[in-house]
């Protein structure tokens, strides 16, 4: 199947800073791009998603942007807090996940 590349694999930021995670996909027919947050020992939880007919979506401190031409989409977390520390996965059309980004927010 098609691959989703996710970068970086680890990200450490200071509390209050912003964090950006980027994913690249290869299937131009893909039209749905969710992001999941997985805390240690817990299930992944959907935090935000975007469809191919919009370029950006925002929910409080979390936003996702989509560039269909370049085939990449990014998760943006502003004013990070220690409880944002987790592994974040992007996915393409719900089926295939990126390798994950371990975000650590230092107080």
Partner 1 sequence: DAMVIQNPRYQVTQFGKPVTLSCSQTLNHNVMYWYQQKSSQAPKLLFHYYDKDFNNEADTPDNFQSRRPNTSFCFLDIRSPGLGDTAMYLCATSNRQGYGYTFGSGTRLTVV
Give yes or no for residue 89 binding partner 1 (CB under 8 A).
yes
Residue 25 or 89: which CB sits closer to partner 1? 89
Smallest distance, partner 1 to C-beta of residue 72, A: 17
Q: Is position 104 an interface residue for partner 1 (rule: CB under 8 A)?
A: no
Q: Which residues of 49-83 are buried (b: 16+ CB within 10 A; e: fewer)?
A: bbeeeeeeeeeeebbbbbeeeeebbbbbbeebeee
Segment 42-81, which members bind partner 1 (CB under 8 A)? 42-46, 49, 51
């Amino acid at each position: 199947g098609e691959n989703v590349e996710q970068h970086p694999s680890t990200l450490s930021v200071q509390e209050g800073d912003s964090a950006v995670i980027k994913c690249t996909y290869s299937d131009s027919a893909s039209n749905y791009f969710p992001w999941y947050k997985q805390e240690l020992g817990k299930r992944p939880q959907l935090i935000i998603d975007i469809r191919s007919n919009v370029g950006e979506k925002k929910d409080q401190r979390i936003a996702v942007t989509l560039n269909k031409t370049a085939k990449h989409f990014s998760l943006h977390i502003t004013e990070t807090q220690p409880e944002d520390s987790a592994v974040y996965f992007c996915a393409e059309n719900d089926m295939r996940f990126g390798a994950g980004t371990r975000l650590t927010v230092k107080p």
